[in-house]
Amino acid sequence: MKAGIHPEYREVVFQDVSSDFSFKTRSTIRTKDTITWEDGNEYPLVKVEVSSQSHPFYTGQHKIVDSGGRVDRFKQRYGKSGK
């Protein structure tokens, strides 16, 4: 690897602002904010709008669109037998 051309890969805290959920991971993202984590160390902070704690798919509030039966309803409505 060439020296000086790669971004710094470090531990970063991502915080979901809508659900007050935070998690620590490693990233190369740059940020000016910092936060003191549970271990007492200070880490860069990235604020996100959606995470697994607030996304409807993961919280069970996801609405599944019923696509089954659409072809049958079309055939009934317009008299197409498809044969």
Rounded to two decimals, the pTM is 0.61
Q: pLDDT of 56-70, one tens digit each?
A: 655 566 555 556 677
CA distances from 68 to 13, 19, 52, 82 (A): 42, 34, 28, 17
Helical spans, DSSP H, in the chain: 56-59, 70-78
Least confident of 8-12, 28-32, 69-73: 69-73
* 3-state class (DSSP) for residue 70: helix
34 pLDDT higher than 70? yes
